[in-house]
Structure 1
Amino acid sequence: MSTDAASPALLKNILGPAALETIAAAGTAASRRFDRAAFLTAASSGLDALSIMERVRHIADALHDALPGDYATGVDIVRAMAPQLTHSFQAMAVTEYVARRGLQDFDRSMEALADLTRFGTAEFAIRPFLAADTPRALAVMTEWTGSDNEHVRRLASEGARPRLPWAARVPALKADPTLAAPILDTLKADPSLYVRKSVANHLNDIAKDRADWLLDRLARWPQDDPRTAWIIRHALRTLIKQGEPRALALIGVGQDAAVTLRHFVVEPQAVRLGDRIAITAELASDAPGDQRLVVDYRIHYARAGGKTAPKVFKLRTFDLAARDTATLAISQTIRDFSTRRHHPGRHRVELIVNGRTMAESAFDILPG
């Protein structure tokens, strides 16, 4: 997840004092056995220093102080609280109670997660259950693919992602990222875009470790259903950016584009942080028929010590008619992110068409 430098401070405040009051009110409404004062005292203590996900876990532990010691009773109260919460991160914090207290009551906890995910995703809370007993958890999640609720179906895919952002890694999925393949096969034509995005992201995770397996699998998926075709395109995005020939072929793209580059310009040639660069290119078809083009650009970011770090960005995927021309343009602000810091120096820019570099240009980031 890319955010600017200010975003983390804003994000964590979603679970600030007002959210604690909302959760406390939901607990009080759900059961007379909920200790509001104990919850607020525990949840408020040390909150300011915590990041957003640390706050999720901190609030879950505070719920333990406020709920009856019997887990079965506590989880019933938590499930009654969830519909009264006003933000998905509040629900995630409540759901985390199941992850931190319910491992010894597997079936009850999995049922609770399927219920709670409707209010705030349980994708993080399910990870300890996957780690503790991967086959058992995946068996239950496979059953969830038949749910009539899109949130539950999405949890089946998202919760088992090998590289789920912000989440703890599951050893079995790290060793074999394809373990959830039956789930993905079942959801490959899901009617919900929310679910299809998760399936595509899950498959893209697999691409980073088992590209050949992924390409073999997707080659067997029929693309006559536009929902499946959509998943395949988005699942292959990392491999497409790498110019992988089989990935390009699966989306109907030939590796050798029959085009002439009329021009490729990056301007201005020198910028400072906060300025924008504009990239324009004009392609002319040399083909007698239509052809599909995948056009990306790669920026080689300058690093300390003269090194560079390349990153590929999507420009456009489109069909170019015979003997036609296409003008492509995009602009990008040069600013620091929590995941990327800019350094002064020369930044090469490549234009990539169907996986092959067609041209290069550059711009300089000035110091100060």
Structure 2
Amino acid sequence: MEPLKNIYNEAYVDRLTSDLQTTFPDFVAEDFRTLILQPDWSSLELMERKRRITEALCKTLPDPYTKALEILVQVAPPYNGLGGIVFPDFVQCYGLDYWNESMDALEVLTQYSTAEFAVRPYFIKDTESMIKQCLVWADSSNEHVRRLASEGSRPRLPWGISVPSFKQDPTPLLPILEKLKQDESLYVRRSVANSLNDITKTHPDLFIQIAMDWYGGNEDTNWIIKHASRSLLKKGDKQILSLFGYENSQNLHIKEFQFETASIKIGERVDFSFDLFSEVDTKLRVEYAIDYVKARGHRTRKVFKLSETSIKEKETKPYSRTHAFEDLSTRTHHPGLHQLTLIVNGEEKVSVEFEVG
């Protein structure tokens, strides 16, 4: 698989150089390329490459900031996805003293790529003004701008600069999310759900209250609450399980559990199967957990969903799964005693230990 950092490669730099020259004929192309493609270029990761390009833009575009910004806004439209975040990154790094111009630019630039990372320093500099700006963006006719209001203000935005005040007290964000809780765009609703899921990590009681207040009135809002509840569902939170009708766990029984692997090697797989019998009609959430051994010898749990469905009185449903212990970019396996646990409607039903070597 091509490394993500190669979004910013020499061809990208050449393309950007050409587009800048077309828009600003006095642009010194060779200086720009030299500043970026230094000997360490190949060793830089994605965000390091992005920042190298941003800094080169600052050194080669004309002063003042507003003149450079005018050029970048003209160049930006064809640059989509991660390849386009260089433009809002320029605003992030150099625009804090030009609030109004930067807000206008971010509203435009986010429509081509995303400005979710670029707004973070602005929240730190003036939280109240930035909240007001997001409330304005939440009323935009453009889904990318509305998403910026919710995604840029997330308490735990991946890759984004931390805004400690939102981790300590996320309540100032709630009016933004309230405005977007019935948004017509799934793109925006997913962002609202992600922000709420962030809140579950630090303020679960606050989220549970929001979930109780919002759930049941609108199909789109119901989807948001369900998606935002994914972490608490995996933790087996009783209130959230009950909200979605996952109850009656005492009437659900594991039968014919098959797990015959006492030990495996890293890179191999385990197979397991079981039947699930219910005494009553009920909604059903079936999961399994792996307690992984970490590098220091302790174990941490990851929960995997098998199904969400319903089951009738006296019905038996069969389940089977193969789980791989291959190293991934997101997970490295370590030898030791692991555990697999079957979970039904939040209740642990069966556990078995096995050796990974």
Match of 2:283 among 266, 276, 292: 292
Q: Which has the higher contact order (CA 8 A, sep 6+)?
A: 1
SS at match of 1:347: strand
Q: Which residue of 2 aligns with 1:252?
A: 245
* In 1: Cα distance, 2:116 partner to 2:185 partner: 17
Given that 1:68 and 1:74 are in contact with CA atoms closer than 8 Å, whether structure 2 keeps it comes out as yes
Q: Which of 347, 352, 362 matches 2:338?
A: 347
Q: Does 1:65 align with 2:59?
A: yes
Q: Does 1:157 align with 2:150?
A: yes
- Taking the aligned partners of 2:107 and 2:250, their CA distance within structure 1 comes to 47
Q: Matches of residues 211-222 of structure 1 in structure 2 within 5 Å?
A: 211-222=204-215
Q: Is the 8 A contact 2:78 2:112 kept in 1?
A: no
Q: Which amino acid aligns with 1:364?
A: E
Alignment partners' CA distance in 1, 2:111 and 2:95: 19
RMSD: 1.8
For residue 176 of structure 2, the aligned residue among 183, 199, 203 is 183
Counterpart of 1:41 in 2: which secondary structure? helix
Equivalent residue for 2:233, pick from 209, 232, 240: 240
Q: Is the alpha carbon distance of 1:235 and 1:104 closer, same or farther for their aligned partners in structure 2, counting shifts above 3 Å?
A: same
Q: Distance in 1 between matches of 2:53 and 2:297?
A: 45
Equivalence for 2:113: 120
Contact 1:15 1:89 in 2 (8 A): no
State the shift of 1:109 in Å. Answer: 0.6
Q: How many residues align?
A: 356
The answer to whether the aligner puts 1:360 opposite 2:351 as a matched pair is yes
Gaps of 5+ in 1: 1-6
Within 2, Cα distance between the matches of 1:20 and 1:135?
Answer: 37
SS in 2 for 1:146: coil
SS of corresponding position for 1:148? coil
Q: Which amino acid aligns with 1:260?
A: H
Distance 1:187 1:305, change over 3 A: closer
Query: CA 1:268/1:213 → structure 2, altered by over 3 Å: closer, same or farther?
Result: same
Given residue 340 of structure 2, which amino acid in structure 1 is its aligned partner?
Answer: V
Q: Does 1:84 align with 2:78?
A: yes
For 1:130 and 1:292, the matched residues in 2 are separated by 42
1:33/1:67 contact within 8 Å kept: no
Would you identify which runs of 4 or more consecutive aligned residues in structure 1 move more than 4 Å? none
State the SS of the aligned residue for 2:197: helix
The 1:120/1:32 distance shift into structure 2, 3 A limit, reads same
Query: Structure 1's 166 and 266: CA in aligned 2 closer, same or farther, altered over 3 A?
Result: farther
Change (3 A) 1:358 1:12: same
* SS of equivalent residue, structure 2 residue 85: helix
CA distance in 1, matches of 2:47, 2:283: 42
